Amino acid sequence: MPILDTPYARLDLIRQPEQANEPLQAFDAADQYLLAHLHEQELPPGARVLILNDGFGALACSLAGRAQLLSSGDSHLAHLALQKNLARNGLPAGSVAFVPASEVAQGPFDHVLIRIPKTLALLEEQLIRLHGQLAPGARVIAAAMLKHLPRAAGELLEKYIGPVQASLAVKKARLLFATPAARPAPTSPYPTRYRLDEPPLELLNHANLFCREGLDIGTRAFLPHLPRALGDLRVADLGCGNGVLGIVYAQGNPQARLTLVDESYMAVQSARENWQAILGERPADIRAGDGLTEQPPASLDLVLCNPPFHQQQVVGDFLAWRMFTQARTALAKGGELWIVGNRHLGYHLKLKRLFGKVEQIAATPKFVILRAIKP
């Protein structure tokens, strides 16, 4: 396992979720570049530091005990990684406070350290929220690998913080330094909303939502085939996003007991607000989580899932396979997992290995809707 070696610390870090023979490390050259720069500039003891989008806790664990640290991001898995990596390296759990991206981090802050997220709408919302939260003379530094640093990131820093200067590239990483300047109080364009014709719904979407401007085509293919009138089943919408699958299922199954879970705090916030707007006070368990790991075994009758095929900038089917495995454990005997997936991903074969019995419910030129039954 690679060790993060910086002027501040020597750390053994793991990613979340863990997998055997993990091919990727929990930090990169942008983390190292940012930490080396901070050390050169001599971070004052007691400085109030906000860390945004610290993927697996590399920045926060390195600075633990050296400043008043507040970490904020939209990933529950990143929060889990921070907690595990603090413990793994013998650092006090209380040395870093955490605020989910669904809440506002309260300043004032002397330093803001930003890892540029994949979704620039999330960065924009985070920068908007910094208005009025920066201490006099505050320093705002963003870091990214060059391949993940679009020009628009610097433009957003310029728009909401102040003039931006870029560092030289080091090991294919770059820092952006934004000098705070007077800016009028911004109005956030988030959350956004879109309407569905069938069923007729308006859905709200906070900044980091996948397909924030309209329903993704996989879910659009799935919705007409959701089962109806199945009675008092225990049902989970796994990776719920804005909650549309769970909400539409609930409308067609008034007695069903729903759980909606996602690892994105903004997704859970969106799903909770949409559920309340559409279904009022009907009970539901809507939570941030590492999939169904917290769900008791054999406690569900049905799982609905439109699985993701990436984690941050990493593309692959690892997360989908993990969700299928979680669903199998959480389902009671005879329980069913319903998924939608791109044809080329071969989910039918993966599900057959796990469940044995798999049926195709419907198909479009691009997608298949599959039902797997737990033996």
What structural domains does the chain harbor? 3-178 (3.40.50.150), 192-373 (3.40.50.150)
Do residues 277 and 204 touch, judged by C-beta distance below 8 A? Answer: yes
CB contact at 8 A, 372 and 351: yes
Taking only the tens of pLDDT, the chain with its 375 residues reads 689 999 999 999 999 988 777 778 999 999 999 999 999 998 998 899 999 999 999 999 999 999 999 999 999 999 999 999 999 999 999 999 999 999 999 989 999 999 999 999 999 999 999 999 999 999 999 999 999 999 999 999 999 999 999 999 999 999 999 999 999 999 999 999 999 998 999 999 999 998 888 899 999 999 999 999 899 999 999 999 999 999 999 999 999 999 999 999 999 999 999 999 999 999 999 999 999 999 999 999 999 999 886 444 444 567 888 899 999 999 999 999 999 998 888 888 889 999 999 999 999 999 999 999 999
